[in-house]
Amino acid sequence: MAITGGTGSFGETIARRALREGVAELRIFSRDENKQHHLRLALNDSRVRFHIGDVRQSDGLLDLLRGVDLLFHAAALKQVPSCEFHPLEAIRTNALGAENVLDAALAREVGAVVLLSTDKAVYPINAMGMSKALMEKLAIAKARRWPDGPTRICVTRYGNVMASRGSVIPHFVEQIRQGQALTLTDPRMTRFMMSLPDAAELVLEACARGGHGDILVQKAPAATVLDLAEALIEIFGGRTPLQNMGARHGEKLHETLVAHEEMARAADGDRYIRIPPDGRDLDYAGFFSDGGVMLDDADDFSSRNARRLDRAELIELLLGLDYIQAQLGASQPVQEPKA
Ligand SMILES: O=c1ccn([C@@H]2O[C@H](COP(=O)(O)OP(=O)(O)O[C@H]3O[C@H](CO)[C@@H](O)[C@H](O)[C@H]3O)[C@@H](O)[C@H]2O)c(=O)[nH]1
């Protein structure tokens, strides 16, 4: 088994889970030797092999995937604001890098490839989302082109992974600790809330039941930024004030996990929504005489219309996160707000 971007929050979660479940060998592929060093020490397991490399270059990927049966592609540029300033870098890593990963996986006849995408790829308005939308298109086009090959290709789309590195939860917790005002972009903004274990469940669901060319989505609940901030203040105590800053570059008020047009052909299950590939071919003649699938009135699945977590549920969910537990256990007291 191999993970690109294997030193990130998601990579580490799936790595630990695979090791617990007895994986024979796990290859971690990433660019940063320092992060690999720390993960090597943290995992301390001889089944783990580290490969330095960049998905922008194919040779390292071909080397990585020799004899691999399952690949999780998590390597990405994922910060929305920085991708806005460097869109070509987002295209290079998220789109062209994914193409390299898929080509290498097909060449090495990897049994299954699960690619990680994001809600920001649906009706994308920022460069990160656009490059991830292209990644999805590349994956589905490959699945369509090689329908009967040895490699199964699946995409999973995530909402926000709670307390992942650089995200708003650690940022708010730090602000509470420092006694600084919490910087809210827009209190009405909603985001899907997923924990890291939820994210791991989703890729495992894709491995177990995802079809070739499917996009899988978890029916995650959503919360407003205001409720999130207030829930954290309640957990950590203190009298931290709130400050509204306005939206950052390329931000949406609400995110969408399944587009209205995709809902028309999606299979809506208890916990997951499966979007199968559009099986039609490129024969457009039919569309002038016979027509295609009619779009129905299905709504999209967005953080605006998803189940909204109330404050109590949000607090319970936050208290279940390892990150929050570790912070609550930390000795550093919460400071009173600075005037
Ligand atoms: O100081 C801050 C920072 C953020 N936010 C808000 O908090 C929410 C979450 O922000 P953040 O944790 O930065 O996540 P997003 O910008 O939504 O993007 C994250 O979630 C995506 C999945 O949707 C991932 O793909 C991205 O990598 C990841 O950065 C958003 O509504 C932000 O506007 C604030 O209110 N104040």
Residue spans per domain, the chain: 2-159+195-220
The finding on whether 180 has its CB within 6 A of some atom of ligand 1 is no
Please tell me if the CB atom of residue 58 comes closer than 6 angstroms to any atom of ligand 1: no
Q: Is the CB of 185 under 6 A from ligand 1?
A: yes
pTM exceeds 0.90 for this model: yes
DSSP 310-332: -HHHHHHHHHTSHHHHHHHHSSP
List 48's β-bridge partners, or say none. 26
Cα 294 to its chain centre, rounded Å, is 30
pLDDT tens-digit map of 212-228: 999 999 999 999 999 99
Residue 275: which of 154, 194, 158, 160 has the closest Cα?
154
Distance 50 CA to ligand 1 centre (A): 30
Judge whether 76 and 31 are in contact, CB under 8 Å.
Answer: no
Cα(134)–Cα(140) distance, integer angstroms: 10
**Kind and range of the H or E run holding 25:** none
Q: How confident is the model at residue 49 (pLDDT cuts 50, 70, 90)?
A: very high
Q: How far apart are CA 180 and CA 216, in angstroms?
A: 39
User: Do the Cβ atoms of 117 and 135 come closer than 8 Å?
Assistant: yes
Residue 294: predicted pLDDT:
59
pLDDT at 334: 54
Give the tokens for residue 156. Answer: 């999973």
Give pLDDT tens digits for 110-146. Answer: 999 999 999 999 999 999 999 999 999 999 999 999 9
The lowest-confidence range among 14-18, 175-179, 291-295 is 291-295
80 lines ligand 1 (CB under 6 A): yes
Residue 293, sorted as left (phi over 0), alpha (psi -120 to 50) or beta, turns out to be beta
**Which of 248, 246, 245, 249 lies closest to 84 in space, CA to CA?**
249
| Arithmetic mean of pLDDT, 98-107 | 98
- Is 115 in a helix, a strand, or coil? strand
Is-catalytic flag, 120? yes
How confident is the model over 244-275, as pLDDT tens digits? 999 988 899 999 999 999 998 899 999 999 99
Name the CATH architecture for the domain at 2-159+195-220: 3-Layer(aba) Sandwich (3.40)
For the chain, the residue count is 339
The confidence score (pLDDT) of residue 304 equals: 96
**pLDDT greater than 60 at residue 62:** yes
Query: Among candidates 258, 266, 224, 2, which has minimal Cα distance to 108?
Result: 2
Q: Identify the bridge partners of residue 256 per DSSP, sorted by sequence position.
A: 302
The finding on whether 129 has its CB within 6 A of some atom of ligand 1 is no
**Which amino acid appears at position 118 of this protein?**
T
Calculate what percentage of the chain has a pLDDT beyond 70: 93
- How many angstroms is it from 154 CA to the middle of ligand 1? 25
> What confidence tier does 333 reach under pLDDT thresholds 50, 70, 90?
low
Q: How confident is the model at residue 297 (pLDDT cuts 50, 70, 90)?
A: low
pLDDT tens digits along 78-99: 999 899 999 999 999 999 999 9
Q: Is 4 exposed, middle or buried (0-12, 13-18, 19+ CB in 10 A)?
A: buried
What mean pLDDT is predicted for residues 273-292?
73
pLDDT of 173 strictly over 50: yes
Beta-carbon contacts of 91 under 8 Å, excluding residues fewer than 6 positions away, are 127, 131, 134
CA of 74 from ligand 1 middle (Å) equals: 18
Closest ligand 1 atom to the C-alpha of 167?
Answer: 12
164 CA from centroid of ligand 1 (Å): 10
CA distances from 113 to 13, 121, 140, 213 (A): 17, 19, 12, 10
